[in-house]
Amino acid sequence: MAKWVYMFSEGDMTMRNLLGGKGANLAEMTSIGLPVPQGFTITTEACTQYYEDGRKINDEIMAQVMEGVKKMEEINGKKFGDLQNPLLVSVRSGARASMPGMMDTILNLGLNDEVVAAMIAGNPDPKFERFVYDSYRRFIQMFSDVVMEVGKKYFEQLIDQMKAEKNVKFDVELTAADLKKLAEQFKAEYKKQLGEDFPSDPVQQLKLAIEAVFRSWDNPRANVYRRDNDIPYSWGTAVNVMPMVFGNLNDESGTGVAFTRDPATGEKKLMGEFLINAQGEDVVAGVRTPMPIAQMEKEFPDAYADFIKVCDILENHYHDMQDMEFTVENKKLFMLQCRNGKRTAQAALKIACDLVDEGHKTEAEAVAMIDPRNLDTLLHPQFDAKALKAATPLGKGLGASPGAACGKVVFTAEDAEEWGARGEKVVLVRLETSPEDITGMKAAQGILTVRGGMTSHAAVVARGMGTCCVSGCGDINMDEENKKFTLAGKEFHEGDYISIDGSTGNIYEGEIPTVDASIAGEFGRIMAWADKYRRLKVRTNADTPRDAKKARELGAEGIGLCRTEHMFFEEDRIAAFREMICADTVEERVAALDKILPYQQGDFEQLYEALEGCPVVIRFLDPPLHEFVPTDEEDIKKLAAAQGKSVESIKALIASLHEFNPMMGHRGCRLAVTYPEIAVMQTKAVIRAAINVQKAHPEWKIDPEIMIPLVGEVKELKYVKKFVVETADAEIAAAGIDMKYQVGTMIEIPRAALTADEIAKEADFFCFGTNDLTQMTYGFSRDDAGKFLSAYYDAKILENDPFAKLDQVGVGKLMKMAMELGKPVNPALTVGICGEHGGDPSSVEFCHKIGLDYVSCSPFRVPVARLAAAQAAIAEGVK
């Protein structure tokens, strides 16, 4: 029989896959003697089984749960549903990878009318009565919301009504009698909504709660979070059942969340928040603004001293920054959770370096602990320093997630998404955020909330996404309903510009320009370590000298793809290019190409200059020609006049370029097959540029690499290559210089991968164009797939966008095949990738594994690729 349930005393931190992160760490804390209320974990395998059984907990699992309950009762000397000594529990999710706020939690489970009455009868303190009713109404509300999906709002309305009636501002001001009445109202609401009584049997409550946590693995926000964070659906979540300790018992109790180092900056100092007389969700949900952790020392000196000791023990044990949840009940400390804390990219780098300096980690371990996706945020814009100096903040909140954001104010997640989709930059302003807001938060440049601390949902999620966030600006007077707020006497409406600084927490009226981030310090140190370990080279996709320079700054070791068509979109060039398209004869076309040649040559010279002798791959013209012809009547007239042709003939030409499937149409090497003179011109431009730069810099070795796109048949390559070689050899001979060059091809059509042995005979290098290869392997249009992919996610057909994260099973198989066919035929063949996947960490890892020589990605992703490449090598045991 499978073991579905583990007591905390039966596990340890190595069992993360089975027990989830929370369960494994609760077990580990138990094993090292920390004060953890003793309960049990239901495994992630039980979650998978729940789904296999048609979303049901089978009898075998439930029987083991009940054994777990029995053991828990014995250990704690309390009993489920007992009127003398009732056991109340929390039921909490915990997947392998932490997913803060994405899944469900139920507290105070085990309460019912009899238990409540018995508890009160057993303790004459009126404060205790208040506590019991406070716990009861929380439980009914959470259970209804999370387990029965009634919706929080009905209960919140009742609380607001009660507060208004009693003329108080905070929940803590409500009396025992008020809360008792609320609990009654909540139960009545439950019955009204669901047509049945609130379940009073603790075992039934428990079963329903466990099911709810399993179910929450599949809720929409968890699905979005998983997609963003590369967490497979198949992992499932564990469920932790733990005896309650009560932070809301009295004023000698409280609850808090803390980090052993600052999750925003990485500074080595305890950071956290604490609330007296409260339960965990009050801190995280941001309903009350908590006090800084240091203040806990004054309120609860003994528990604070114990907590500091625990922090030390945990850091020395896990050798990483810890994020902890704890509760103080009657001045005694209990640990409810610990995990390696989420952190900003800046903090991650600092912490990794500090951990090496403190002897906790080796350099390789430090490199391995940085999430490459996070690096993006370091490269994000900051406010222009001068403009910032001139600006006066209107208000200030907490700098919850660094970076600068500027955009139009929107008040709902839906609006953020909608406005974002039409290209508007927005700042989402909310009273507080909840996990349902995640897609809106993603669409926004920045997030501003009125309530909530550094550990509130908005702060944690924004940090994870690398989105600028200012939280807890209590000075804002919010009117969400009418889509407006006032701050420092200024009224903001939907659509007004606002600027926020996620590092300082400052809020500004209007637009403040932003500038690129500059990277220094720990970034360089980590990158230098990463470069020691990686085997893959990292190049960049750059079409302009500006991009190329940026990429060099960020560590690119060459250009892996220069899309030459991007050089034609500029005003002065497009005219010559259009002339080329309109040509009726070869002579006309050559004359037009002669005009383009100097532009191209100039561009290529600048690229070679920027790359200082590093390799540069120049890809010949790829896109369908219709992309260059005008659509506007005026522009058509202008073109006709310039060409000395009739408007009708130009229109007829444009119509003739129309294709039903342009991505599979007259593009790529097919253009060069029809018009070899284009390839001839481009070859001249490349070789002449290379010769000029070589002459100017004899210390560099310029070795031009010419790449022919969209080859599916070796004869296509051979045909185009003949023109390239003839032209290049003639240019080199005429210059009297000794220069080598390479002619390679993209592998981006499945047939090219399937016949890579043939193609390798003619190619000096391969470069996988995984954008087209994905398009043609799946048969998904790369420009239109977005329309239906979300249905594919919902139906669990796909977990990720295959255009962002390489499909290793299908597209990857073709890549592997091309490597295995090509390399033996041409052992000198170098192989790279220049599709978008070249900057995606898991795809980079795959490229490492199948033996590519380099990855090429957009300039800002170069550091991500360098780190991912190092991690792939380290994971393989490279020291």
Closest by Cα among 763, 753, 766 to 818: 753
Residue 45 backbone dihedrals phi, psi, to 5 degrees: -65, -30
Binding string to Mg ion for residues 728 to 767, with x set by CB under 5 A, is what? --------------------x-------------------
Please report how close the Cβ of residue 837 comes to ligand PEP at its closest, in angstroms: 8
624 exposure class (CB count in 10 Å sphere: 0-12, 13-18, 19+): buried
Q: Which is nearer to ligand PEP, 468 or 711 (CB)?
A: 711
Q: How many DSSP H helices and E strands does the chain contain?
A: 35, 33
The residue to which tokens 């295959």 are assigned: 802
Q: Say which entry of ligand PEP, Mg ion, none residue 801 contacts (CB below 5 to 8 A, set by partner kind).
A: none
Q: Are 836 and 803 in contact (CB under 8 A)?
A: yes
Q: Spell out the SS3 assignment of 11-66.
A: CCHHHHHHHHHHHHHHHHHHHCCCCCCCCEEECHHHHHHHHHCCCCCCHHHHHHHH
Q: Are 299 and 275 in contact (CB under 8 A)?
A: no
Please report how close the Cβ of residue 669 comes to ligand PEP at its closest, in angstroms: 12
- Residue 499, H or E segment: strand 497-501
Residue type, 334: F
Q: Which is nearer to ligand PEP, 417 or 836 (CB)?
A: 836
Q: What share of the chain is helix, strand, coil (3-state, %, to 5)?
A: 50, 15, 30
105 exposure class (CB count in 10 Å sphere: 0-12, 13-18, 19+): buried
Q: Which is nearer to Mg ion, 312 or 783 (CB)?
A: 783
Classified as helix, coil or strand, 480 is: coil
DSSP type of residue 700: S
Q: Say which entry of Mg ion, ligand PEP, none residue 362 contacts (CB below 5 to 8 A, set by partner kind).
A: none
Q: Which is nearer to ligand PEP, 404 or 834 (CB)?
A: 834
Q: Say which entry of Mg ion, ligand PEP, none residue 849 contacts (CB below 5 to 8 A, set by partner kind).
A: none
Q: Which is nearer to ligand PEP, 139 or 780 (CB)?
A: 780
Q: Are 26 and 92 in contact (CB under 8 A)?
A: no
Please report how close the Cβ of residue 771 comes to ligand PEP at its closest, in angstroms: 3
* Strand ordering across the sheet containing 40-42: 5-7, 40-42, 237-243, 89-95, 105-109
Binding string to Mg ion for residues 768 to 797, with x set by CB under 5 A, is what? -x--x-------------------------
Which residues lie across from 405 on neighbouring strands? 500
Q: Degrees (nearest 5) of the Cα angle 520, 609, 765?
A: 95
Q: Are 236 and 217 in contact (CB under 8 A)?
A: yes
In 597-699, the DSSP E strands lie at 616-619
Closest by Cα among 433, 27, 435 to 226: 435
Residues that bind ligand PEP (CB under 6 A): 561, 563, 622, 748, 769-772, 834-835
Q: Which is nearer to Mg ion, 748 or 840 (CB)?
A: 748
Please report how close the Cβ of residue 572 comes to ligand PEP at its closest, in angstroms: 23
Q: Which is nearer to ligand PEP, 484 or 563 (CB)?
A: 563
- Residue 746, H or E segment: strand 742-747
Q: Say which entry of ligand PEP, Mg ion, none residue 472 contacts (CB below 5 to 8 A, set by partner kind).
A: none
Please report how close the Cβ of residue 555 comes to ligand PEP at its closest, in angstroms: 20
In 658-718, the DSSP E strands lie at 705-708
Closest by Cα among 375, 384, 369, 404 to 524: 375
Q: Which is nearer to Mg ion, 455 or 775 (CB)?
A: 775
Q: Are 614 and 558 in contact (CB under 8 A)?
A: yes
Q: Which is nearer to Mg ion, 356 or 711 (CB)?
A: 711
Q: Say which entry of Mg ion, ligand PEP, none residue 563 contacts (CB below 5 to 8 A, set by partner kind).
A: ligand PEP
Q: Does residue 273 bind Mg ion (CB under 5 A)?
A: no
Whether 457 sits among the annotated catalytic residues: the reply is yes
Q: Are 686 and 806 in contact (CB under 8 A)?
A: no
Q: How many Å apart are CA 535 and CA 337, to the nearest integer?
A: 38
Please report how close the Cβ of residue 563 comes to ligand PEP at its closest, in angstroms: 5
The packing angle between helices 571-582 and 647-657, to 10°, is 90
Please report how close the Cβ of residue 787 comes to Mg ion at its closest, in angstroms: 21
Catalytic residue among 457, 626, 837, 848: 457
452: left (phi over 0), alpha (psi -120 to 50) or beta: left
Catalytic residue among 406, 469, 834, 847: 834
Please report how close the Cβ of residue 485 comes to ligand PEP at its closest, in angstroms: 43
Task: Taking the CA atoms of 747, 749, 755 and 759 in sequence, report the sign of the dihedral they define.
Answer: negative
Number of residues that bind Mg ion (CB under 5 A): 3
Q: Which is nearer to Mg ion, 116 or 749 (CB)?
A: 749
Closest by Cα among 56, 68, 52, 97 to 4: 68
Q: Which is nearer to ligand PEP, 315 or 772 (CB)?
A: 772
Q: Are 467 and 485 in contact (CB under 8 A)?
A: no
Q: Are 153 and 106 in contact (CB under 8 A)?
A: no
Please report how close the Cβ of residue 622 comes to ligand PEP at its closest, in angstroms: 6
Please report how close the Cβ of residue 772 comes to Mg ion at its closest, in angstroms: 4
Please report how close the Cβ of residue 746 comes to Mg ion at its closest, in angstroms: 6
Whether 626 sits among the annotated catalytic residues: the reply is no
DSSP secondary structure string, 775-793? HHHHT--TTTTHHHHHHHH
Return the active site residues. Answer: 457, 834
Which residues form the interface with Mg ion (CB under 5 A)?
A: 748, 769, 772
